[in-house]
Structure 1
Amino acid sequence: MPNLSRYDSAADARPTEDKPADAAGLNPAETHDAVTNDAETEAAETNAAAETKGDAKTSRNAGAAREETTARKSAATEQTSATKQPAATNSAGGEHKDADGGPWYVSGAEHSAANTGSEPEQDAEDAAIQDAEAQRRSLERERAAAAKPVLGRVVQVMIAVFFPVMLLAAAIRAVATPMFLWTEYHRPGFPADSFGFSTEDRMTYGSYAVDYLLNFASPRYLGDLVTPDGDPLYLASEVSHMADVKMVLGIAFLSALGMALLSIAGGIYLARRCPGGIRRALFAGAVATLALIAGLLVAAVLAWEQFFTQVHSIFFSQGNWTFRLDDTLIRLFPSQFWMDSGGTVAALVLLASIIVLVFTWPTKRRRERSRLANEAARRRYLESLESV
């Protein structure tokens, strides 16, 4: 039998290989090498014993020993891998990471540091959004302040359209006065009454007719008048026509008064919201009035009789405006009176239109003043929007 004592002695000569690596004070790499060497030594001893004995039973034991050696190598490898994962502490002193560098625990300090790094980017995005919103609001305010209000344009057109009507009504009202009547009866060249009315008779009876047109009396105001002989001064047809004239003039004067009130309200609005709007509206109205009066004057001068007939046909379609030459209305208000009245009305309208044109003509100075006023109004409007 072979002497195996030397193998036993060699096995006893290994004092500390089987001790744990931590107890022996070795690092993980040395522990792995020691375990591997132990496994290889034991495998070599087992093979040597199997060869020495030379029997089948020993060979089977050697195979089992090799399998055990392989299992011990695997266990040693796993232990080494686990040992090679030291706890890493970051500079913040609170976060531990595994071998792959992934955090399995995040301390409050590093979490705060991570959030601190992302906060500047978030703040920059928020600031950009706020700047974009502020710019959008500023542009909207500028656009709203620069836009001309539609109501302002409507008011300007309204005043321009109303201006000729108001001016014409005012001129007619100026003519329908006892003063104009006295001027007509006493001016040189005015035709006398061929049926016996003196100038004083005309002034007395004509003043009744003018007063009736302007007061609130009933038609009896004229129907009850009589001559010194006791005869009615006005026929029933004359009284009816004067009632129609009174109604037309009343509607015209009331309409002009309503237009004047609307124009005053519109002027107040234009003065506050559209500086220079009143001037532009009056200028346009004066131009329209001049064009209208020019057309009427041309028609009246070229064919007065036809013009007079057409005007009466429009307002008195019932045809009760035609009278005999000896009727009171014709004796008091002959054709020359109506021609003079029409010329006076046209002259008053032209004079007023020219005065308005002079004071509203768009000179450079007035346009500049309107521009400055518009800028001031726009600044006030922007300030009011910002305060809201």
Structure 2
Amino acid sequence: MNDNSPTPAKRSEPQPDPVLDTSSDSDEPAFAWMTGQPESRADRKAAEAAVEPSSVEPSVTEPSAAEPSVTGPSAAEPSATERSAAGPSAAGRPGAQRAAVAPTVTGKQERPLAGAARHQSAPFSEPLPTSALQVRPPKEDVERRNAERESAANAKPVAPRIWQVLLALFYPVILLVLAVRAVTSPLFLWVEYNRPGFPGDGYGFSTDDRMTYGSYTVDYLSNWAGPRYLGDLVNRSGDSLFKDGEVSHMADVKLVILSAFGAGALLIVLSIVAIAYLRRRSTGGVRRGLFAGSIVSLAIILGLGVLAVLGWQQFFTEFHRIFFASGSWTFALEDTLIRLFPGQFWIDAGIVIAGLVFLASVVTLILTWPTRRRRGLVKDDQKATDVTA
């Protein structure tokens, strides 16, 4: 460098000295060296704690004495003031500073490791909620549960059985009522009065007279007319056709007949309900109910027929005693009721009622007979054959 070298502008002017007064500087640790006052280690730690009060999470496990862990700034690591005081030579060796500090493990890293170690060293673990299923119950308990399960599977509902029994009981009564209704009709009167061998009237009634007066009597049993319906009738001579006792007895007969017809109509409605219910809830329930009812009907008809054959007069008398008061149903041979409805008429009526009920019961019995096909055994046999083949 010589005298001819370019000189910066205003080089010849004197430069002011730097201000070294540190009285107005801040209290930061980095400027403590400029004040000339030494900084204690406790003050430095308090300042660092104020800057970072909770910078590191607490560790799960306590650090051991041989291997301490650092949760805040390392005690061996110099502070910013010491690094500044050491100068660039110390600041330029970051490797040496890191080597002086032992590697530590934070709380987040220690937690899974400590949990894994505790799980491996535990002598007993909590059983799973389904571990009780692996324990087999006692043999008696197993057999009892199996028996209850099988009984519940084989048990049939009670309601279908009740309706089957009711249908079996209703059916004979319905047949009897329908047979009585067939006898109390003008058609049966016409057939009875015109059949060969029917006894004639010894007091002057012709077949036409019987048919006319008998039709009034039968109509009175099924209509809602009062006793005057028969009491006001007169014969050809203008006399009353029926006596008061006869009219009173026919009123009693009408009450019994209408009650029987009403009961029969009610049982028919209930039987329709039972059939509709059994068709939906019980396979073959209608068939079984009608089959049982036909057997009951046959038993009743055969029993009553045997009693009638063994003693018709006794049977007829006991029948009237059941429904009518004693003495109210006995009349003289010349009375109109006896002339219109002699003893042979009631015998023929009983035979027709028994025959109709018997015929209906036999037809029902045949139609509802429990064959293998109706019981569904043919399908089961076919399925078994297909499986075997």
The Cα offsets for residues 223-251 of structure 1, whole Å up to 9 and x where unpaired, read as 00001111000000000000000000111
1:244 aligns with 2:252: yes
Structure 2 residue corresponding to 1:289, chosen from 294, 297, 303: 297
2:238 maps to which residue? 230
Q: Which runs of 4+ in 1 moved over 4 A?
A: 85-88, 93-96, 108-121, 123-129, 138-146, 369-372
2:342 counterpart of 1:334: yes
Alignment partners' CA distance in 1, 2:220 and 2:307: 30
Tell me which residue corresponds to 2:14. none
**CA–CA distance in 1 between the matches of 2:250 and 2:286?**
38
Tell me which residue corresponds to 1:107.
111
Q: After the TM superposition, which residues 249-264 of structure 1 pair with which residues of structure 2 at under 5 Å, given as runs? A: 249-264=257-272
- Of the three residues 118, 122, 127, the one matched with 2:128 is 122
| Shift, 1:126, TM fit | 9.2
Aligned amino acid, residue 107 of structure 1: R
In 2 relative to 1, CA 112–156 (structure 1 residues): closer, same or farther, beyond 3 Å?
A: farther
State the partner residue of 1:363. Answer: 371
Residue 166 of structure 1 aligns with which residue? 174
Q: Which residue of the other structure, out of 148, 152, 158, is the alignment partner of 1:150?
A: 158
From the two aligned structures, give the one with the greater helix fraction.
1
- Give yes or no for the alignment of 1:190 onto 2:192: no
Please say if residues 94 and 110 of structure 1, whose CA atoms lie closer than 8 Å, have aligned partners that are also in contact. Answer: no
Kindly report the root-mean-square deviation, in angstroms, between the aligned alpha carbons of the 2 structures.
3.5
Letter in 1 for 2:157: P
Task: Assess, with a 3 A threshold, how the Cα gap between structure 1 residues 140 and 301 changes in structure 2: closer, same or farther.
Answer: closer
**Aligned-pair CA distance for 1:114:** 7.9
Q: Distance in 2 between matches of 1:205 and 1:115?
A: 111
SS at match of 1:259: helix
In structure 1, runs of 5+ residues without a counterpart are 1-81, 97-104, 130-137, 373-388
- Change beyond 3 A, Cα 1:325–1:113: farther
Could you tell me which residue of structure 2 aligns to residue 212 of structure 1? 220
Structure 2's unaligned 5+ residue stretches are 1-63, 70-103, 136-145, 381-389
Contact 1:166/1:256, CA 8 A, preserved across alignment: yes
CA distance, structure 2, for counterparts of residue 219 and residue 369 of structure 1? 60
- Identical aligned residues as a percent: 52
Aligned-pair CA distance for 1:191:
0.3
Q: TM-score, normalised by structure 1?
A: 0.63
Letter in 2 for 1:334: P
The answer to whether the 8 Å contact 2:373/2:379 transfers is: no
* Farther off after superposition, 142-151 or 247-256: 142-151
